[in-house]
């Protein structure tokens, strides 16, 4: 049987070493939760054209999840922490890394101080990162000091997966595709837009109940009219 050898080198080798270190160091487990994102879909569709005209930037779902994660991390700061020599350090700042795919791997630039930024601010930073990723000129500061990571592969049709914690962080959120599903509301079957969120945590720091509560709070913010109205202030 013929084959082609590809040396494990460069970025691929670095990713392999970091992933091995992550799974051998952290006690990782993943919890999945289906979330009704119907109102979020309506919101994005309703503001997308106006937003893109004003900001000149494409509006995807990722910046919304950056904002929702920031809110939930303030409620559950243990997920916004690191473990160093038997000491848990919970960070005051919420610095969210967003995974970008590369030809031979991935890289995670970091949006710093997310809690103080608007939707436009976040979309703008993501656009800048995207251009830097394509040009290969991200700086060390761009990828440093992350406290939590989001990886969105919903655009590839994935329903759920097991993201690996980006150590020294203790949690990573996987965002999956949106699917129309029949659900029961007030004894009636209705069609809603549903997304599964996949949260992997380090059990040394984050108990399963806390991870579940974090996902539940994420679900609350995603469906909250008050939260969604704040997002409109872009």
Active site residues: 203, 207
Alpha carbon 81 to chain centroid, angstroms: 16
- 127 contact partners, CB below 8 Å, separation of at least 6: 57, 58
Cα distances (Å, whole numbers) of residue 15 to 57, 91, 172, 215: 30, 25, 16, 27
Residue 88: half-sphere exposure toward Cβ, Cα within 13 Å:
12
User: For 228, phi and psi rounded to 5 degrees?
Assistant: -65, -35
- Identify whether the C-beta of residue 6 lies closer than 8 Å to the C-beta of residue 190: no
Q: Dig out the tokens for 88 from the structure.
A: 């848990």
Neighbours of 220 (CB within 10 A): 15
Please tell me the distance from the alpha carbon of residue 80 to that of residue 20, in angstroms, as a whole number: 22
Of 177, 129, 130, which Cα lies nearest the Cα of 152?
177
């Amino acid at each position: 049987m013929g084959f082609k050898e590809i040396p494990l080198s460069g970025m691929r080798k670095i990713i392999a070493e970091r992933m091995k270190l992550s799974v051998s160091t952290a006690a990782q487990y993943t919890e999945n939760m289906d979330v009704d994102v119907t109102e979020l879909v309506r919101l994005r569709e309703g503001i997308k054209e106006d937003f893109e005209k004003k900001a000149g930037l494409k509006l995807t779902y990722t910046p919304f999840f950056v904002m929702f994660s920031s809110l939930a991390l303030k409620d559950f700061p243990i997920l916004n922490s690191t473990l160093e020599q038997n000491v848990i350090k919970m960070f005051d700042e919420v610095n969210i890394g967003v995974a970008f795919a590369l030809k031979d791997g991935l890289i995670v630039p970091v949006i710093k101080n997310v809690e103080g930024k608007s939707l436009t601010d976040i979309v703008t930073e993501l656009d800048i990162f995207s251009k830097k990723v394509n040009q290969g000129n991200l700086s060390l500061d761009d990828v440093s000091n992350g406290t939590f990571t989001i990886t969105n592969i919903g655009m590839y049709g994935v329903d759920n997966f097991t993201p690996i914690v980006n150590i020294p962080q203790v949690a990573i959120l996987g965002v999956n595709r949106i699917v129309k599903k029949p659900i029961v509301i007030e004894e009636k079957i209705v069609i809603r837009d549903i997304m599964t969120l996949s949260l992997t945590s380090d059990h040394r720091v984050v108990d399963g109940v806390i991870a579940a509560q974090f996902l539940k709070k994420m679900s609350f913010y995603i469906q909250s009219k008050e939260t969604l109205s704040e997002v409109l202030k872009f």
